[in-house]
Structure 1
């Protein structure tokens, strides 16, 4: 079942509440995911930087983009079920196969006033 998107912003929180808002209904768990792959050159550059004690800015940038994509997916899914907020947001990052990274955003979709 699909609901029209809520008017106004979608409130996001990593805590179990949204300051200044009252949670009037919980709609359940929502997930947002994206998958990234690091190419050979990305793995090579990350390996070299790790050897010399640096951090791979290119790799970190890709992780940030992927995290934002997962969060956008989470928001879309929450809006689809009529939520105007998501609480308890958490991110998980895992590698599947060699070089494939899954970023997952998970939270509880809620209706707030």
Structure 2
């Protein structure tokens, strides 16, 4: 699955547009992470537990996006983006990956 942030894919022809696809996950931090983040925010610096939470959430959202695109018959996603929001003030995070699922073919490849 080719996933790009651009609206076009150099070297490829868009043969079919399947439409919007999404990958969504909502994650919450555990109590120890919340306490550690509160203490760390006083002194400054990276909140490593939160960084890891966001990394894992983005990876999961991206995997779900690719699975949805593939289930529609796509082999690429264009105009890919992430959107991240705090979830209901609970210390959780919502991550949405979205884009346009398409079927592409290299310019030098003949149609089937």
After TM superposition, the runs of 4+ consecutive aligned structure 1 residues lying more than 4 A away are: none
1:27-66 CA-to-partner distances (Å, cap 9, x unmatched) read 1000001110012211111122221110111210111011
1:2-30 CA-to-partner distances (Å, cap 9, x unmatched) read xxxxxxxx111011112221111111000
Q: Distance in 1 between matches of 2:8 and 2:49?
A: 34
- The aligned length equals 104
Q: Cα RMSD (Å) of the superposition? A: 1.0
The residue correspondences of 1:77-92 to structure 2 (distance < 5 A) are 77-92=68-83
Q: Distance in 2 between matches of 1:61 and 1:53?
A: 17
Instruction: Name the larger-Rg structure.
Output: 2
Q: What runs of 5+ residues in structure 2 fail to find an aligned partner?
A: 106-112
1:59-112 CA-to-partner distances (Å, cap 9, x unmatched) read 101110110000000000000000000011110111222122111000000000
Q: What runs of 5+ residues in structure 1 fail to find an aligned partner?
A: 1-9
Residue from 91, 96, 107 that aligns with 1:104: 96
